[in-house]
Amino acid sequence: MRNTLRTSFWQAAYQSLPEAGRQRYLAYIEQAECWDLALDAASDALSRVKGALTKLFEPPAKARSAH
């Protein structure tokens, strides 16, 4: 392995392949990891945007009466 895989999941997937097929499928596994990381980053970004928009459009809290 050329140490190109960054996550333990994809490293394990690569190691689970038979020795004869590793080089054949390495590019596919690298591409899958790239998509996985990109989708994870996009999901995190959308979650942050959603939280910011929720706070922005949240109605102000009503003042409580002291009585």
Please give the Cα distance from 44 to 53 (Å, whole number).
14
Report which of residues 64 and 57 the model is more confident about. Answer: 57
Residue 67 has pLDDT above 70, yes or no: no
What percent of the chain stands above pLDDT 70?
Answer: 91
Give me the domain span that covers residue 33.
24-50
Residue 13 resides in a domain? no
Phi-psi category of 16—alpha, beta or left, where left has phi over 0 and alpha has psi -120 to 50? alpha
Q: By CB neighbour count within 10 A (0-12 exposed, 13-18 middle, 19+ buried), where does 22 fall?
A: middle
Is residue 65 in some structural domain? no
29 within a domain of the structure (yes/no): yes
Output the pLDDT for position 32: 97
pTM listed for this prediction: 0.74
pLDDT tens, residue by residue, 2-40: 568 999 999 999 999 999 999 999 999 999 999 999 999
- In-domain check, residue 38: yes
